[in-house]
Structure 1
Amino acid sequence: MPTPDILSRLIAFDTVSRNPNMELMAYVRDLLAEAGVGSTLIPNAEGTKANLLATIGPSDTGGVMLSGHTDVVPVDGQDWTRPPFELTVADGRYYGRGTTDMKGFVACALAAGLKAAQRQLKSPLHLAFSYDEEIGCQGVRSMIDLLQDAPVRPAMCIVGEPTSLSVATGHKGKIALRARCVGREGHSALAPLAMNALHLGCDLVQVLRDVQAELRDNGVQDGDYDVPYTTVHAARMTGGVALNIVPNLCEVDFEIRNLAQDDPQAILSDIRTRAGAIVAAVKDHAPEAAIEFDISFSYPGLDTSRTADVVNFVQSLTGVNSTNKVAFGTEGGLFSQELDIPTVICGPGSMMQGHKPDEYVEISQIERCDAMLDVLLDRLEAGI
């Protein structure tokens, strides 16, 4: 089946992360089965979502894994001029939610898998499709557990996030956190006798800004990134019930996106210590005051050497000799660090088009990705 036909079917599934993806995965499973390719579904506990893993070719050697996620970000509140869950072809582009991020690559990988089923591969092609990547690479972890126990793991992995088909060797890690700032409620007319939790939250945000400034001015730098240092970002603050009530609770959502050279746990430990000083300063007045931290999710960064075999191999498929690093996170760091699978990021489209209304991928990018994977199949047939 041609890639555009597969992409059209994939876009039609509303797999926003809050929704199930089982219908899409059933389509993928059945499409592969029609070509004689077996696959393994790895469902979540509720049976509403699943990863899919398929191997085409021999099972006693490593081969190459193509990895992509099947969930997409919401379209709520966005001004779309085209139907988001219907593939539209216009102006040399494929429009629809996920065309760039990243059902475009998934469609190319599936088309390659169907072609691979008709060839005598000496090295296998692995297809690894996951869920809940958009909310912190959470779904792929059960696939990683399965691969941990596999007798033979893939020799290398290509994560097909959009890079305009350049070879990206790295991305930052991330810890997503919520700070719970506890104060003491009271009547606003007697506010100084209470303990305003919003004030604790504001003091904490100032700590985050101070840590960020120190990382910017004195921390490790990596010029391959648009923002060449580790970032600390406060995204959301909530608290309070009514104007005449001193709030007793404030929550601050923030993140740390770290370079490979920085230890995010050490940064978090520093933030905890400074938050402890904020609380200690008000304990005599409000013994119940506290700032507590919960980690929502985390994933490691990716930092593959430019001279690694996987980099040279994928460059030989694309014909592009340069490398870069990407600002967004992927499951690549998990494959690299937890499974020791050498990994790069290389896929069609640009993240400049992702997460936006009227998301699109250039048709030429899909065609180039198909051509890259055709070369990959030639290499797998030769036994790389």
Structure 2
Amino acid sequence: MTTEAILSKLVSFPVLGGESNLSIIHWIKTYIESFDIACTLVPNKEGDKASLHCRIGPSASGGIILSGHTDVVPVKGQDWETNPFILTDKNDGKLYGRGSCDMKGFVACCLSVLPRLVKADLKKPIYFAFSYDEEIGCLAAPELIAHLLNHYPETPKYAIIGEPTLLQPIIGHKGICLYTTKVNGSAGHSSGIRKEVSAIHEAARLILWLENKMNVLVDSGNIDNRFTPPHSSLHTGIIHGGIAPNVIADKAYFSWDARVIPNDNLAEIINEFTTHCNKRIEELKPIFPDFKIETEEIHPPVSSFLTNEDADIVKLMGKINSNTNIETVAYASEAGQFNEAGLQSIVCGPGSIDQAHRANEFINNDQLTNYNEILNNLISLFSTEKIISDF
């Protein structure tokens, strides 16, 4: 099958983050196994989702993982000109469809080079690793990575995560975690504000604490100019509370995110926030004994990611990709999770992140063609004993 034909099939599976991905993962498994390659599924506890991994080539150390996710973001409320789950060629050099860019284009490229891959005399193995629920917090990757590393007798050394980067090698991104903080105060007439504990007022103070903490980090010199903005950010995007202007609010909550540069410690920031919240609870309990502040993770933290510019994976990428201008990005990916597992990682894939998550998402045909060339160069590199020995 051509890359476009495979991509068309992948786009036809409307698998959103959080939903069962068994339809698309079983299609991918069947396709790979048609080349006599054994695939392993890593299901979730409920059995309605699964990641997949496989190895092509010898059982040898120093292999490389090509990793992508199978889920996409919703299309509801977006103004699509075509059916988002039918890959559409408008004869303008672009292929339109949800996931065409993020990141089924990458998966299609991996699958389309299989005929050459299975015939190659590989000296080092190439692995595929495809996950689910990336779009709602990179939830499946840790289990997939652990399973892959425990499954094969030899340990891979590298990982390429194929998020859309216009083929540019990305060596770093910020970590992210989302939280909801709930405040339980006391209701009453607004004229008695000094006698009660307003949940809204306390929520506002906590939001300002977060903003001040961000400013303290910046003022303390916690800067990394490889990122835009070059510092960790703490941002509140949702706040709700109260029933009327003249009623002291007994309930309020706000949802916020923390995006941290690699050198900042997310756990330390959260611990400081928790300590501050506990202090406020002790201060206000004499006024209202049932005063509470509770913070919950919306999903587990996604690790920040940074690979050294002189790492072997960067040198390897330079051998197979003519685009050697390394950069960092603001969005998160599964790369940090691969990196934490001891795999030298890099993000590089076809398509532009500017097209991701929006209506009329597309990928340029030449991006697919050029990424297939990168993968073919990888196959050639891993088939050459003299060159691969350098890595």
Structure 1 length normalisation: TM-score? 0.95
User: Any residues of structure 2 matched to 1:181-200 within 5 Å, and which?
Assistant: 181-186=183-188, 193-200=195-202
CA distance in 1, matches of 2:337, 2:119: 31
Shift in Å, 1:276 = 3.5
- Name the structure 2 match of 1:259: 261
Retained in 2: the 8 A contact 1:162–1:349? yes
Q: More deviation in 37-46 or 273-282?
A: 273-282
User: Any residues of structure 2 matched to 1:30-69 within 5 Å, and which?
Assistant: 30-69=30-69
**Residue-by-residue CA offset, 1:54-82 (whole Å, 9 max, x unaligned):** 11111233311100011111111111111
Q: More deviation in 181-190 or 301-310?
A: 181-190
Retained in 1: the 8 A contact 2:17–2:73? yes
- Name the structure 2 match of 1:233: 235
CA distance in 2, matches of 1:219, 1:213: 10
Retained in 1: the 8 A contact 2:164–2:351? yes
**Residue-by-residue CA offset, 1:224-243 (whole Å, 9 max, x unaligned):** 11211111111222333566
SS of residue matched to 1:55: strand
Retained in 2: the 8 A contact 1:32–1:114? no
Q: More deviation in 65-74 or 220-229?
A: 220-229
Distance 1:77 1:192, change over 3 A: farther
**Does 2:108 align with 1:107?**
yes
Which ranges in structure 2 are unaligned for 5 or more consecutive residues? Answer: none
1:323 to 323, 326, 336: 326
Q: More deviation in 270-279 or 117-126?
A: 270-279
**Residue-by-residue CA offset, 1:113-158 (whole Å, 9 max, x unaligned):** 3431232222111000000111111011221221342432212110
Retained in 1: the 8 A contact 2:53–2:148? no
Which ranges in structure 1 are unaligned for 5 or more consecutive residues? Answer: none
CA distance in 2, matches of 1:142, 1:114: 29
Shift in Å, 1:320 = 2.2
The one-letter code matched in structure 2 to 1:324 is: E
CA distance in 2, matches of 1:264, 1:175: 9
SS of residue matched to 1:329: coil
Retained in 2: the 8 A contact 1:17–1:132? yes
Q: More deviation in 233-242 or 133-142?
A: 233-242
**Does 2:208 align with 1:206?**
yes
CA distance in 1, matches of 2:244, 2:14: 38
1:380 to 367, 371, 382: 382
SS of residue matched to 1:265: helix
CA distance in 1, matches of 2:265, 2:30: 44
Shift in Å, 1:216 = 3.1
**Residue-by-residue CA offset, 1:79-134 (whole Å, 9 max, x unaligned):** 11111111011211111111111111111111123431232222111000000111
Distance 1:191 1:221, change over 3 A: closer
Retained in 2: the 8 A contact 1:113–1:125? no
Q: More deviation in 267-276 or 59-68?
A: 267-276
Percent identity (aligned)? 34
Shift in Å, 1:36 = 1.2
- Name the structure 1 match of 2:10: 10
CA distance in 2, matches of 1:348, 1:60: 28
- Name the structure 2 match of 1:29: 29
**Residue-by-residue CA offset, 1:343-363 (whole Å, 9 max, x unaligned):** 000011111111111111111
Distance 1:198 1:113, change over 3 A: farther
Shift in Å, 1:222 = 1.3
Shift in Å, 1:190 = 5.5
The one-letter code matched in structure 2 to 1:22 is: L
Shift in Å, 1:299 = 2.0
The one-letter code matched in structure 1 to 2:309 is: R
- Name the structure 2 match of 1:295: 297
CA distance in 2, matches of 1:51, 1:114: 22
User: Any residues of structure 2 matched to 1:142-161 within 5 Å, and which?
Assistant: 142-150=143-151, 151-161=153-163
CA distance in 2, matches of 1:372, 1:330: 21
The one-letter code matched in structure 2 to 1:369 is: Y
CA distance in 1, matches of 2:374, 2:149: 28
Retained in 1: the 8 A contact 2:281–2:292? yes
- Name the structure 2 match of 1:348: 350
User: Any residues of structure 2 matched to 1:128-143 within 5 Å, and which?
Assistant: 128-143=129-144
CA distance in 2, matches of 1:373, 1:58: 18
**Does 2:276 align with 1:274?**
yes
Say what the alpha-carbon RMSD is for the aligned residues. 1.8
The one-letter code matched in structure 2 to 1:70 is: T
Retained in 1: the 8 A contact 2:18–2:136? no
Retained in 2: the 8 A contact 1:170–1:304? yes
Retained in 2: the 8 A contact 1:64–1:155? yes
